[in-house]
A = this chain, B = another copy of it.
């Protein structure tokens, strides 16, 4: 089987289709948009299917909201850089915009349909979102997000915070892309620590600063924290806290030894302990997760547990899946208090990164298991054989065009189909059909009824 040519996702592709008889329209994909060849698309879709399958296995239900939202719905929940990146539409009587994530549509959906939903509302949503960022390697303007969230009506049990990483663990196991680590933290810890230093109101700013530690280094972060107005003592406490290392249980023990008596801090330790307990009860091995006190997540949105997931052998890839607990999903749209916890996989970027890292196995440009190749003018028998094999369970394609044996086999090679069934006059009159395994190049002569089981056995 020939491996089909790989697509370079066309980010900088400048191919223009030009005609002799006049100018043709530019057909290259817009910068920042991913468009895959079929062989890549098949693998991409398999990943989507894996994610969806696991989400459903944990009892999440699908929703699908419009890509277009009222502009004021989106702008109510976002400011700064993200607001500038929103695609706006000029059409129609309403001010419109394309969604930039799946969380804002979820908030609107829950506010709108609350009376018809069962709570806790466990939904998954897989869809495209739009951000007009400057295109660069691995950054896309249109990309898939695959989100799960559990939304409570008024309250939501902490045990949900343990189920979210369990779902992610299942997905990354099935994706078979090497070892990964789900890193968890609880934002109440650093908030409590800052409270006890009398600078609790700076919590969000401090977390945003700490979040950059891997990028800018420790001394720069120290400097920035002092600039924020923190005392040397407070900065020392923060770095003592961040320096805590060890197994999950050791970290919990060391947190207790810090002597911080702030109630929020204590709650954070209890929550983290509880979440770890239930991650274990859900069957997650200790090797699959770690407490990482340096994870803060830039967004001021999160209020408790936070998650990041990294590929152990590819640290440069960064977090491939992040999320956390929040106190109130939809305060802009409803009076209901809707706490929740959720996580998101940015599949477009992940696919790009996995492919760059050589972790995506591209196999064939077809989903067909069998290509029936006729060598007769009347195609009735080849079509009957294809119908039989489809009914028995295989995806099957028939090569319907005219041409020489060489051209037809070249097509079979190009699409990478695993088996070919040859149907000519001799085969029809003898009732014995040639079945060719395209990997081994072995050819076997079989009666019609034997073809399925022969291929099914991988012969």
Residues of A within 8 A of B (CB): 4-5, 7, 10, 15, 17, 19-21, 24-30, 33-38, 41-42, 44-45, 56-70, 72-73, 76, 87-92, 94, 96, 98, 108-109, 111-113, 116-118, 120, 122-123, 128, 130, 132, 142, 152, 155-157, 159-160, 163, 277-278, 281-283, 332-335, 365-368, 371, 379-380, 383-384, 386-387, 390, 395-398, 400-402, 411, 414-415
A281 touches B112 (CB 8 A): no
Q: A38-B123, A65-B35, A397-B59 are in contact. Are A334 and B128 (CB under 8 A)?
A: no
CA separation between A59 and B383, bound complex, in Å?
13
Contact of A25 (CB < 8 Å), options: B65, B156, B332: B332
Contact of A155 (CB < 8 Å), options: B130, B395, B401: B401
Q: A58-B395, A90-B88, A282-B387 are in contact. Are A116 and B67 (CB under 8 A)?
A: no
A29 touches B64 (CB 8 A): no
A–B complex contacts, Cβ < 8 Å, 9 sampled: A19-B335, A27-B112, A36-B63, A41-B62, A59-B398, A66-B142, A87-B89, A89-B89, A278-B380
CA separation between A128 and B28, bound complex, in Å?
21
Q: A61-B367, A67-B142, A152-B401 are in contact. Are A25 and B333 (CB under 8 A)?
A: yes
B73 touches A400 (CB 8 A): no
B59 touches A366 (CB 8 A): yes
A67 to chain B, nearest CB (A): 6
- Please name all residues of chain B whose beta carbon is closer than 8 Å to the beta carbon of A395 when the two chains form the complex: 56-59
CA separation between A38 and B396, bound complex, in Å?
34
A156 to chain B: closest residue by CB: B401
The 3 closest A-B pairs by CB, nearest first: A59-B397, A59-B368, A281-B380
A333 touches B35 (CB 8 A): no
B160 touches A400 (CB 8 A): yes
B90 touches A91 (CB 8 A): no
B17 touches A367 (CB 8 A): no
- Please name all residues of chain B whose beta carbon is closer than 8 Å to the beta carbon of A332 when the two chains form the complex: 24-25
A389 to chain B, nearest CB (A): 10
A334 touches B384 (CB 8 A): no
A108 to chain B, nearest CB (A): 5
- Please name all residues of chain B whose beta carbon is closer than 8 Å to the beta carbon of A379 when the two chains form the complex: 159, 278, 281
CA separation between A109 and B152, bound complex, in Å?
44
A337 to chain B, nearest CB (A): 12
Q: A61-B42, A142-B67 are in contact. Are A72 and B116 (CB under 8 A)?
A: no
CA separation between A434 and B64, bound complex, in Å?
36
- Please name all residues of chain B whose beta carbon is closer than 8 Å to the beta carbon of A108 when the two chains form the complex: 25, 27
Most buried by B among A15, A69, A379: A379
- Please name all residues of chain B whose beta carbon is closer than 8 Å to the beta carbon of A109 when the two chains form the complex: 27, 35
- Please name all residues of chain B whose beta carbon is closer than 8 Å to the beta carbon of A92 when the two chains form the complex: 132
A372 to chain B, nearest CB (A): 10
A228 to chain B, nearest CB (A): 31
CA separation between A263 and B260, bound complex, in Å?
93
A59 to chain B: closest residue by CB: B397
A400 touches B157 (CB 8 A): yes
